Amino acid sequence: MWFWEKDSVEYEVFKKYEPALIAIGIDFSLEKVQDALEAGTFGLEDALKSTIEYVLWLQKKERQVFQNAILIQALDEQWKPRAWQDDYLDLPNLVSSGQRWWNSAAKMWGYDKRNQLVADVFYDNGKEYIQFTNGKKMLVETAWLWGWERVLQYATT
């Protein structure tokens, strides 16, 4: 699924918006979405912002949303955002499950313990993982299912 080199500007832009795009329901495993992303590097950031902005507007108006089609069209037609606000990325409904877990871990374990145990929360092939400092990793969804005590034991052994 990697469309660009990891040290490229496109990759950096994509990673900035990836959690919000996943949160609104973009399916990066779809071939049409992948093709549009590979072809749509010019104006990439504007297209990603426009997609998020438009889907939020449709959701607010309680209209039917076809997220993948919107992203493809935004990339193909090089949409420009109309009323983008940087704080959109901080909206609770656009924060990834991993970011919610990260924030909750600080509340449950304390900042120091979380920072000692958790090296990173990252995406790999559309799945979100927690990388622990002991070398183990776990799907974020598994961490939510296991609960705090079991994950703490896993992270410390």
φ, ψ dihedrals at 139, nearest 5°: -65, 140
**Mean pLDDT rounded to a whole number for the chain:** 92
Tell the residue number behind the tokens 């779809």, with chain if given. 30
Q: What is the pLDDT of residues 2-43, one digit of tens each?
A: 566 777 888 889 989 988 998 898 988 899 999 999 887 889
Point out which residues pair with 118 in neighbouring strands: 132
Q: Is pLDDT of 90 > 90?
A: no
Residue-wise burial string across 106-126, b where 16 or more C-beta atoms lie within 10 A, e elsewhere: eeebeeeebeebbeebebeee
User: Can you tell me the mean pLDDT for 132-137?
Assistant: 97
Q: How would you class 43 by CB atoms within 10 Å of its CB: exposed for 0-12, middle for 13-18, buried for 19 or more? A: middle
